[in-house]
Structures are given as C-alpha cells and as structure tokens.
C-alpha cells in the first residue's frame, strides 16, 4: 500500500488533471490511497466567500461563490462524458449545501463558517477527479473523508481524534481495498462528532495523507508537486535554489518549523512514528529523482534558507524596570497559549521580552491589550524573518546586505535575523 497526495497545483487545470492517469498507471498492481487538495487557488477563493458572507456582504459572497461553482462545473464538463451526469449531481449537492448556508445570517463564530464553506473545495476536486479516472478506465472508489477523519471542534485548526479515526480507517478503508486498488479522498478536511465539517489548517492535505499512511501501515507516502522536489530555498525568491535529494525527518521538521513552505509541519510525526519514507516528486516529469525523506542521518546539507514575510515584533518592557523573570515569561507564554498564537521567535533580555509573530491583526491587538496590563508594549510591523540552517557567514552577509537587522538569534546550526 502506498499513499499519494496531489496538491492543488497538480489538479489546477485540465492539462494537469489529464496527467494523473499516466502517473497512476505506472503503479500497476499496487494498492493506492490518493489524497487530493482543492483545485489551484480554490481554497483562497472560498476564503473570500466566507469573509464577504461573515461581514454581511451577502451579494458579494454569492457572486464569488458562483465563480467557484462555474469553474468546477466547466471543468467537469470538459473532462467527463459518460460520468458527467452522475458527477454533476454530486457536485451540485455540495454546492447547494453552501448556498443554503450563505442564505442565512451568521450566528456562530467565523471559524465555524470558514470550515463549512472552505471544505467544499476538496469535495469538488475529488468528485471530479474520481469520475474522470473512472471514465479513463482507472477504477477507483471515492470516499468522503469526513466519514473517516474525526476531529475536535477547534475549527480551522482541528485536531484529529486518533482512536476514532483509526477505527474508521480499519473498518471502512481497509475493506474497500479488498475490492478496489485505488481509493480517492480529500485532504485537509474532517468532521466533528456532530457532523460539522472542520479543517486541519492551510496546506493540511500533506498531513491527511500522512495520517492515512500511518494508519494503513503504508510502505511509503509520495507528495506530487509542480517542483522538482524539496529545494534549499524558495525558487521564486532565489533563482539559484537547488534540489536536496535526501533529507531526514528532523531536518524537515526544523525547516517547516521555521516556515519553509515545503511540507505541512504536522506531516512528519505520523510518518516518523512508523518509519515510513516520504517522497516528494514532480508530477510534470516522473523521471526526475525528487527528494526522499527518512530516518537516516545526513551530512553536508547546503544552507537552507527560509524567508517569512509580514512579521510583527512585539516588544514587552517590564513596567517598573523590574527584571524579566519567570513570572513575566510565564505570563507571556500563557497569553500566547490562550490566544493560540504561535511565536516565530522569542528573545529575552534584562527588562524586555521580544516576540516575533505572523501579522494577524486581530490576534496581535488582543495580545497587545492584555500584555499592556503587565508590560509597556511596542509593536513594529512589516518585518521579514530570515532563517538559515547550516549557515555560512557569506550566505548570511549576502542576504542581509542593505537591510536593517532588528533582532538576531543564533545557534551552531541555525541563524535567524529579523530585518526590515
Ligand atoms: N486546499 C487546502 C489549502 O490550499 C489544503 C491543501 O492544499 O493542502 O490550504
Ligand atoms: Mg495546496
């Protein structure tokens, strides 16, 4: 059994979707569980729908939703002949559910509506791709992952109920493979015990695939991307970025932690726990070697560069010039935990604590307000956090030239500078 994940870019248009049969045919006589994301930028488009809806701009929400709807119906029409009607009816059911929701005024929190609306992206893409593959003679079963992946109700960042999900995987997915070689399902989404849809955090499909790999004891997981494999920097920002052909779990966790957009940070643990190798391969050219990620130790890695834009530095200065001690530090961590804020970097000094965060204005405002009861609070926005693993002084020099460094933190392996 192998688990594959195809990201949004690999199903973003007809030309790309029509590459899937060839890829899947090259794994004959294999049991494959395939996790697919929403097509292209659908998740972003759906986010705009929910925002408009929640802010009371209902007409705009409908208009934006209609675009998503048309795109998918058109896609289905192009790709399907024999299976068109069946697929269309499934697609329309998903769409109608959202349209009903958009008709009512929001009564609950934003994140709840976000998940109910955004989850449709994955449902639509998998319904279309599954019907298309069946039509191409690649028989498969489509599964609504919300019947399998059970989560808590922490909408937008839901946690998986491991025990319940494992039981569903064993009782539902296991038997499916007795009569099918290919099962197609959605990444990123799940459901609560009250059948409310949830999402696992942006880019969460990698994680879904890893959960399945773990629970099915898969021999490997492959993430199919539109890039060669894992690079040592984002090729859009750094044209001389190069492929890293071999990495280990620890390194990838570190990279993801520092914000590399390679693989969803939660992906590694389920794989590491069962020693399942992760391949990152290019669906545009299957013959490229890609990257393998496993448990072995690896020497001589190149500098790995991660840039995080839109950073905010929150400076907390103790009010009465008393030393920052365990009480102040504890208060800060409690505050971060209560607001569910993940700090990207924390530095403490004699009378100050400095925290670098992603710029989420509502959270930062809340944090600043609460922190102001203990500290004098200063906020600086518009910063960039540069992280280099296995850094060379020359790389650091090159990347910080002409910038003003406002904070620096360093260990033998990693250097981080916050700059503007
Ligand atoms: N469609 C979701 C997103 O764009 C999940 C994923 O692609 O992994 O974040
Ligand atoms: Mg994606």
pLDDT per position as a tens digit, 347-364: 999 999 999 999 999 999
Q: 34: closest CA among 142, 119, 152, 156?
A: 142
Confidence of residue 319 (pLDDT cuts 50, 70, 90): confident
- 282 and 309 in a common domain: no
CA–centroid distance, residue 169 to ligand 2 (Å): 23
Does pLDDT of 57 surpass 90? yes
pLDDT in tens, 226-240: 989 999 999 888 989
Q: Is 276 a domain residue? A: yes
- Note the pLDDT of residue 78: 97
Answer whether residue 299 is part of any domain.
no
**Angstrom distance (rounded) from CA 199 to CA 153:** 9
Q: Which of 294, 328, 349 is a domain's end point?
A: 294
Say whether pLDDT at 397 is over 90: yes
Whether this prediction's pTM lies above 0.85 is answered by: yes
Of 29-43, 84-98, 175-189, 257-271, the poorest mean pLDDT is in 257-271
What is the per-residue pLDDT for 262? 81
Question: Do 207 and 316 share a domain, yes or no?
Answer: no
Q: What is the model's pLDDT at position 404? A: 97
Same domain, 63 and 137: yes
Same domain, yes or no: 170 and 208: yes
Residues with CB under 6 A from ligand 1: 7-8, 37-38, 43, 121, 187-188, 202-205
Question: Is residue 272 domain-shared with residue 321, that is, in the same domain?
Answer: no
Nearest CA to ligand 1 atom 8: 203
pLDDT, position 236 = 86
User: Rg of the chain's alpha carbons, rounded to an integer?
Assistant: 23
Measured CA distances, 272 to 5, 181, 249 (Å): 17, 25, 7
The residue whose CB lies within 8 Å of the most ligand 1 atoms, and thus the one to mutate among 188, 223, 225, is 188
Domain membership of residue 335 (yes or no) is yes
Range of the domain at 243: 2-294
Identify the band that residue 410 occupies on the pLDDT scale cut at 50, 70 and 90: very high
Judge whether residue 323 has pLDDT over 90.
Answer: no
CATH for 395: 3.30.2130.10
Give me the pLDDT at residue 354, please: 97
For residue 93, the CA-to-ligand 2 centroid distance in Å is 24
User: Are residue 133 and residue 191 in the same domain, yes or no?
Assistant: yes
In a domain? residue 279? yes
Q: Are 323 and 400 in the same domain?
A: yes
Tell me: do 288 and 313 sit in the same domain. Answer: no
- Residues with CB in 5 Å of ion ligand 2: 7-8, 37
pLDDT score recorded for residue 259: 85
- For the segment 62-80, the average pLDDT, to the nearest whole number, is 98
Strand partners, 387: 306, 416
In a domain, 380, yes or no: yes
Number of domains in the chain: 2
Does 334 lie in the same domain as 260? no
Mutate to test the pocket of ligand 1, among 9, 129, 204, 226 (most ligand atoms within 8 A of CB): 204
Q: What CATH number is associated with residue 151?
A: 3.40.1160.10
User: Quick check: 332 pLDDT over 90?
Assistant: yes
Angle at 405 between CA 401 and CA 407, to 5 degrees: 145
CA distances from 394 to 10, 181, 255, 303 (A): 36, 51, 20, 11
Do both 206 and 340 map to the same domain?
A: no
Q: Which of 237, 270, 294 is the last residue of a domain?
A: 294
Q: What pLDDT, on a 0 to 100 scale, did the predictor assign at position 256?
A: 87
The pLDDT of residue 102 is above 90? yes
Instruction: Name the domain boundary from 235, 261, 294.
Output: 294
For 397, half-sphere exposure in the C-beta direction (CA atoms, 13 angstrom radius) is 3
Which residue is closest in CA terms to ligand 1's atom 2? Answer: 203
Q: Are 283 and 312 within one domain?
A: no
CA 265 to ligand 1 centroid distance, Å: 13
Please tell me whether residues 225 and 309 are part of one structural domain: no
Span 7-25, average pLDDT: 96
User: How many angstroms separate the CA atoms of 295 and 276, rounded?
Assistant: 9
Note the pLDDT tens digit of each residue in 192-229: 999 999 999 999 999 999 999 999 999 999 999 998 99
Average pLDDT in the chain: 95
């Amino acid at each position: 059994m192998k688990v594959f994940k195809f990201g949004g870019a690999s199903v973003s248009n007809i030309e790309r979707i029509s590459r899937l049969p060839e890829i899947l045919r090259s794994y004959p006589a294999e049991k494959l569980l395939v996790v697919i994301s929403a097509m292209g930028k659908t998740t972003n488009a759906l986010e705009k729908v929910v925002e408009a809806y929640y802010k009371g701009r209902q007409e705009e929400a409908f208009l934006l939703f209609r675009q998503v709807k048309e795109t998918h119906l058109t896609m289905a029409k192009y790709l399907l002949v024999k299976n068109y009607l069946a697929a269309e009816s499934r697609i329309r059911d998903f769409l109608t559910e959202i349209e009903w929701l958009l008709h009512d005024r929001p009564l609950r929190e934003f994140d709840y509506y976000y998940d109910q609306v955004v989850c449709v992206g994955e449902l639509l893409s998998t319904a279309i791709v599954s019907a298309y593959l069946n039509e191409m003679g690649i028989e498969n079963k489509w599964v609504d992952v919300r019947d399998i992946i059970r989560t808590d109700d922490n909408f937008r960042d839901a946690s998986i109920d491991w025990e319940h999900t494992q039981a569903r995987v064993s009782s539902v997915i296991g038997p499916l493979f007795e009569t099918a070689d290919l099962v197609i399902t959605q990444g990123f989404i799940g459901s609560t015990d009250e059948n409310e849809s949830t999402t696992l955090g942006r880019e969460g499909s990698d994680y879904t695939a890893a959960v399945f790999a773990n629970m099915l004891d898969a021999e490997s997981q492959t993430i199919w991307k539109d890039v060669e494999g894992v690079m040592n920097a984002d090729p859009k920002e750094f044209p001389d970025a190069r492929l890293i052909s071999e990495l280990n779990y620890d390194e990838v966790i570190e990279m993801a932690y520092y914000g590399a957009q390679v693989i969803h940070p939660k992906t590694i643990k389920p794989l590491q726990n069962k020693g399942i190798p992760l391949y990152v391969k290019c669906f545009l050219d299957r013959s490229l070697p890609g990257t393998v990620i496993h448990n072995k130790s690896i020497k001589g890695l190149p500098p790995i560069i991660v840039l995080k834009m839109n950073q905010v530095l929150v400076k907390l200065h103790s009010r009465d010039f008393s030393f920052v001690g365990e009480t102040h530090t504890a208060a800060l961590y409690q505050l971060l935990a209560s607001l569910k804020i993940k700090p990207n970097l924390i530095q403490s000094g004699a009378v100050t604590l400095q925290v670098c965060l992603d710029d989420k204005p509502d959270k930062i405002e809340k944090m600043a307000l609460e922190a102001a009861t203990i500290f004098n609070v200063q906020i600086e926005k518009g910063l960039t956090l540069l992280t280099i693993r296995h850094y060379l002084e020359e790389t650091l020099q090159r990347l910080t030239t002409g910038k003003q460094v406002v904070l620096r933190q360093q260990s033998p392996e990693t250097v981080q500078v916050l700059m503007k």
